[in-house]
């Protein structure tokens, strides 16, 4: 999609497209209201500014739109999720099992899924990060997870506008 195409979408179409980048209603509304965009930098800066205004419950709303690490996503952003987690799919069975067990511990501790910008990370790197983050207090962990959501959002916006490598480097 080009900037011109994004700018030209109807409100409902723009909401649908942008919600695949970040599933928070207020963020999507801010992005739609900020059109027309003049450059990719304008889109990315607007996305970051809108995300910095989100509240804890809105971050949890965003996290709920993601598949657990190691699980298959469904819906319109499934292809992006598969590419983002491709290294996890190639991980050995013990790593995938440890990820599933650690995901469960994480959700019990923090009340939301573990979120990381998985692009470019191996399954063992993600497992290590997950285990380290289990030691965070809930407030700190929400901040870390929100930062990871911002990275994912930026990456997905780049992909949406045809400037991101679908399986490529971290943003």
Instruction: Name the catalytic one among 38, 65, 66, 128.
Output: 66
Is 38 one of the annotated active-site residues of the chain? no
Is 82 a residue whose pLDDT tops 60? Answer: no
Residue 30 CA to residue 69 CA, distance in Å, equals 28
Domain boundaries, the chain: 3-160
Render pLDDT for 90-100 as a digit per residue (tens, 0 to 9): 778 898 899 99
- Find all residues with CB under 8 Å of 153, minimum gap 6, and list them: 21, 22, 47, 51
CATH class of the domain at 3-160: mainly alpha
User: Mean per-residue pLDDT for 52-67?
Assistant: 93
Render pLDDT for 2-22 as a digit per residue (tens, 0 to 9): 999 999 999 999 999 999 999
H and E: helices and strands count for the chain? 10, 0
User: Mean per-residue pLDDT for 127-131?
Assistant: 96
Burial of 26: CB neighbours in 10 Å, binned 0-12, 13-18, 19+: middle
């Amino acid at each position: 999609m080009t900037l011109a195409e994004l700018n030209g979408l109807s409100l409902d179409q723009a909401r649908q497209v942008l919600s695949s980048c970040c599933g928070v209603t207020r963020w999507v509304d801010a992005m739609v209201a900020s059109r027309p965009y003049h450059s990719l930098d304008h889109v990315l800066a607007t996305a970051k500014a809108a995300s910095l205004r989100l509240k804890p419950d809105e971050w949890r709303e965003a996290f709920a739109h993601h598949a657990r690490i190691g699980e298959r996503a469904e819906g319109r952003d499934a292809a992006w999720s598969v590419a983002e987690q491709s290294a996890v799919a190639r991980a050995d069975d013990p790593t995938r099992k440890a990820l599933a067990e650690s995901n469960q511990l994480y959700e019990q501790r923090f009340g939301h899924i573990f979120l990381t910008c998985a692009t470019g990370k191996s399954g063992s790197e993600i497992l290590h990060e997950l285990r380290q983050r289990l030691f965070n207090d809930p407030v700190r962990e929400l901040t870390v997870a929100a930062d990871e959501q911002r990275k994912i959002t930026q990456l997905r916006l780049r992909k949406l506008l045809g400037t991101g490598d679908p399986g490529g480097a971290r943003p």
